[in-house]
Amino acid sequence: MMIFGSPRRYIQGPDARLKLGEELARLGRTAVLLTDTFVGDLIGDDAEKSCAAAGIALERVTFGGEITRAEIDRLEALCRQKQPDIVIAAGGGKTIDTGKSLGSRLNARIVTIPTVASNDSPTSHIIVVYDENHKLVGVDKLNGNPDLVLVDTAIIAKAPPILLSAGIGDALVKRFEVEQCVNVSGTNMFGGRPPRAALALARACYDTIREFSVAALQAVKRGESDEALERVVEASVLMSGLAFESGGLSISHAMTRGLSAVKGPASALHGLQVAYGLLVQLQLENRPADFMAEMRAFYRATGLPVRLADLGFSGGDEDLALIADLTAQAPHMKHFERPLSAADLRAAIEVVEAMGNHDANESARLSA
C-alpha cells in the first residue's frame, strides 16, 4: 500500500516567529514552549508577546540538552499537571525531537520552530533517542507529523555556517537513498510503498541543494537571508523531510549506526555523518571516478566531510571494522540494489578514505 505523510502546515520566511500566536490560535488555547537556555533568550520574549496578543496562555520549559528517555520522563512529569493543548519545540534537532516526544506523551498538538537548518527533524514524525553519551538507542514514531512547522529564516541566517552545511548534507543524500528504496520496492518510514511524489521531491531537493548551497552559505556568513538561503532552507527542512519519510532510506543513514559508535564521528552533526555515508553508498553503487571527484569538490565547497578525519576520526583498523559491522546490521541496509556484507562496506570505506586523503595531499601540495 502506498503511503505519503507530511506536516499539516508549513510556514517559512524572515520573522515568521512573529506569527506564532496567530497560528497557535488555530490549534488550542494553552501551550508549553520547550527550548534550551540560549534559544529561550533568543525567541522567548517574542513568543510570549505573540501568544498574549492572540489570547494563548504560554508557559516556558527548559530543555536539559540531550534527548534521552530520562530527560523526556522529567519533562513529562513537569508538564503533566499543566496538560497543555500544544507543545512548541524550538531549537535544534535534539530539542525538537524531545518536544515531539513530549507532545505525544501529553496527547497535545505539536509545533516545531527550528532555529537552525541542520536537519529535517522539524517536519518528520520520527524521534531519534540517544543515551547520555550520545549513542543512538532507539527510534520512536509519532502517530502523525507535526501540526505546524514555523521556520524563521532571519534567525537561521545568523546561526553558525557549519549547521547549514549539516543540513545541506542531510538533504543531499535523500535523492540517492530514495532512488535505492524505490528501485528495490522497499518500504518508507510509514511502512508503506514509496509514492512517485517522494522520488520527485528527493530529486528536486538534490537539484536545489546543488544549485544554491554555496550562495546560501555566503548569506549565512553575512548573517542575512536571501533567495538562495530561502531555497536551501526549504530543501533542507521541508523537501528533505517529506522525501525521506515517504521515500525511504538506504546506506547513507545506515552508516550512522557505525559512525555514532566511534570516537570523533560520534560527536559529529547528523548531516555530516550521513554526507560521509553517501560517499560510501556512491562507491558501492560503482559510480564513475569523475562523478565521485565532482561530488567531492562540491563537498569541499560546502564544508562536508570527504574522509573520516574530517569527522574527527583518529582510530585504526578495529574502529573501521566496528563501523562496518554495525552499519551492516542497520535496517536501512535492505534498501540497496544487492545484498551487502560488512566486508563490502569496509572495502568501500577504504576506497573513500584513499580518495579523500589523495585530495587532501594534493591540496596541501598546491598550497605549499
Q: How far apart are CA 236 and CA 77, in angstroms?
A: 33
What was the pLDDT predicted at 36? Answer: 96
What was the pLDDT predicted at 33? Answer: 98
For the chain, the first-to-last Cα distance in angstroms comes to 58
Measure Cα distances from 133 to 66, 218, 260, 263, 329 in Å: 9, 33, 10, 11, 21
Cβ–Cβ < 8 Å for 244, 189: yes
Measure Cα distances from 49 to 19, 149, 155 in Å: 10, 19, 17
What was the pLDDT predicted at 361? Answer: 82
Cβ–Cβ < 8 Å for 123, 69: no
What was the pLDDT predicted at 198? Answer: 98
What was the pLDDT predicted at 131? Answer: 81
Burial of 268 (0-12, 13-18, 19+ CB in 10 A): buried
Domain architecture of the chain: domains with CATH: 10-156 (3.40.50.1970), 161-362 (1.20.1090.10)
Q: How far apart are CA 144 and CA 129, in angstroms?
A: 18
What was the pLDDT predicted at 139? Answer: 86
The dihedral sign for the CA sequence 20, 22, 27, 30: positive
Q: How far apart are CA 295 and CA 277, in angstroms?
A: 13
Q: Which amino acid is at 340?
A: L
Question: SS3 for 14?
Answer: coil
C-alpha cell at 141: 514514531
Spans of the chain below 70 pLDDT: 134, 368
What was the pLDDT predicted at 368? Answer: 64
CB atoms within 10 A of CB 41: 10
pTM: 0.94
What was the pLDDT predicted at 138? Answer: 81
